[in-house]
Chains A and B, each alone.
Chain A
Amino acid sequence: MIILDLALMLITAYFVGFIYYGLYRNITARFQRRIGPTIFQSFYDSIKFFGKKEAISHGWMFYLGPIIMATGAIMTLFFIPFFYQSESFSGLSGYGNLFLVLYLMLLGPLGNAMGVGVGGNPFGVMGVTRGLTRLFALELPFYIAVVAIMSISQSADIATIAGSQTTINAFAHPLLFIAALFSFVAMMGQSPFDVVGAPVEVYSGPASEFSGKFLSLLMSQSAIFSFAKLVLMVNLFLGGADGFFELLWKTFVLFLFVIAFGAIYGRFKTPQSVDFLIKVPTVIAIVGLIFATAWGN
């Protein structure tokens, strides 16, 4: 039955992820006083790319990049339980804890770096370099916050962390939440930290050399991965979810915040974003960690 469970998780993440991406484009359009595309637009785009025929080949190493990335995204999803009590939609979370999830989240970007490097497109390489630099910076506050949360809950099991929050962590430990939220905005690739695919600077960065099915795969994995990250944040800081309705509104509120944040800020330069992430959220996270350990739960 675990196969069925995993398949259902994947399908849910795929469709919800794409609808969130459509909403992202639509809501951003409203911020800019436009009508904007339908909420299914990203889905249309990805299917259209799936039907395109590529003109050239860069060899198998190049195409391994998106595949590793998709593998990383899907595995991350499988190890994050959707609900903290229920048996279904818990995927493989019984076999691995938060440490594994944090590790798997790195797999995709590294695999993609390998593929893009083979492609040799200067903009792709530039995008990957920017991505890895930003990754290094955003991990620092995020990991500090996550370690603090783990020590508060006395567990590295995501479902336990989600279930053990009497007051949700976002209110009980606001400093940790704020620090993690900065990293989360960066993880979702939103302004002011959208240095990786920066349009007009590096022409969609790592994706610039991909077309057709592999671009479609990249879009799908990013939809799935975004949903996985949202569920992770909900589990760690917003008290988890007990049913689909709760999961959807909690992830959506978080997503809406990220969109709104992205819509009103301009883009940092790469060094600025690293500087900011290493200074402001990291300091907030450390102070939060001290508070959490000094006063406990």
Chain B
Amino acid sequence: MILKMKKEDLSAFLESAKEWGELWGPTRKGDKVAFEKVDALSQMDLKATRTIIPPKKFLYPPRFTMFDFDDGGYVERTGEVPNRILFGIHPCDTHGIQTMDKMFLEEYKDPYYAERREKTLLLGHSCIPDEKCMCSATDTEFIAEGFDLFFTDLKMFYLVWVGSSRGHDLVQMRPELFNRDIGKDDIINYTEYRSWKSSQFTSKVDFTGMPDIFELGYNSPVWDELAEKCLSCGQCTMVCPTCNCYNVVDEVELGTIDGTRDRFWDSCMFREYSVVAGGHNFRDRRADRLKLWYTHKLQAYIGEFGEPACVGCGRCVATCPVDINVVSVSKALKEQEVGK
């Protein structure tokens, strides 16, 4: 279902939606953009391209407690999650959340992720690509599902996609703000918007054929050259919307056996990631860890699901201090040379 809304009505709509839960959106502090809790639309920066950390942090926090334990056993810790409305989620990040859904909601459903997912409404918003965006290369520049509502800014008005029953419920809170009068001009307007958006990409990256190139380049010295630069800092995995790896530790209160079992983001770039009993490390070399990450994103995942695990958000490009990212790695593999 696609509806139309006057741009000046958005603020009133979000005000009403707040009755359901906290409103969160992209806000800017200097050159940093992050999702923050806001009171009103006016505090958000809807022109910002990407937040540093993707919205995965709401569904899957960087650190949280899974269980409290004492000598009676383990008691699940849930029920602390507020209802949240995330406004301004871009298509790439919505695709990222769908990848996370596949990971966490299918076999052995993850109750912590499921709870947060249920208590979060995703209100998407269209975006203007910058030079780091490459969602056109990963086929994630538009989105047809996975959101509750999606607002496409057509300058004079919004087209609003209703993507779920919950999204429809939200619309029903202020039905007078929406209409269905979509005419010839609106359709032309939307068509032009799509071609305009597609024309905005400057990134030349092309992922076609990557699975074969990875296979062919499995033993390429390019990996060692990249590894020499990599700092194993793991920032790439923290900012990537499709990275889901985690670690678990037990924290004990001093002098007791009571404590918590906590879970936190881990990174396959860390040296300890693949160590097993006896100290054997399956991926002791940095090159092997880089290979794992990039093969996972651009080869193995394609083999399994028919699409890359990269949603083209450009965060690894914006974040890695030594310029290792999906663009530079795929280029290096194709050209068999690490660019400067």
A and B co-occur in one complex: no
